Copies of this chain bind each other. A is one copy, B any other.
Amino acid sequence: MLGYEEKLKELGITLPEVPSPAAAYIPAKKVGNLVFCSGQGPSVEGKLVYVGKVGAEKTLKEGYEAAKICALNCLAAVKNLVGGLDKIEEIVQVRGFVNCTADFEKQPEVINGASELLEKIFGDKGKHARCALGTSSLPRNITCELEMVVKVKD
């Protein structure tokens, strides 16, 4: 069986550098064998690539892509903290906030950008509890913000 690092390569995915926190906190924190990730946005190499609200400036498809990038940033934060993706035992939980108009109703389809990626990389171990939510505003007007809880090996 391929390790997750190998799997990423096979999928042609490169993890981004861990984004520097915009403020007084750290990208991820480990307690016992759980890692709690900070809320991640759709940034690549320090630049926000999806800004604006779904239902207004952004489409569902763009939201989906934004959620995917948020998930990669969470994984990058975990990797950086524990020393490699192969230390991940399973994905526990994902909570995704979609910056959207008040009449937008397809937050689950947006957050699928993250969930489907996780299943592709981690298979059954990537199946997680999830919460998809809408909100009227997010930091820097990012299109999506994602939290992740991951279980790592001893």
Contacts and interface: CB of A to CB of B under 8 A. Distances in A.
Interface of A: 21-29, 31-32, 34, 36-39, 53, 90, 92-95, 97, 100-109, 111-112, 115-116, 119, 127-141, 145, 147, 149, 151
A29 B97 contact: no
A11 to B, nearest CB: 16
A134 B136 contact: yes
A37 B129 contact: yes
Contacts of A141: 103, 105
A64 to B, nearest CB: 11
A21 B6 CA distance: 30
Nearest to A98: B137
A24 B116 contact: yes
Given A112-B24, A136-B102, A137-B134, A92 B129 contact: no
A131 B119 contact: no
B39 A130 contact: yes
A131 B135 CA distance: 14
Given A129-B37, A147-B131, A94 B136 contact: no
A108 B29 contact: no
Contact of A38 (B23, B107, B130): B130
Contacts of A127: 25-26, 29
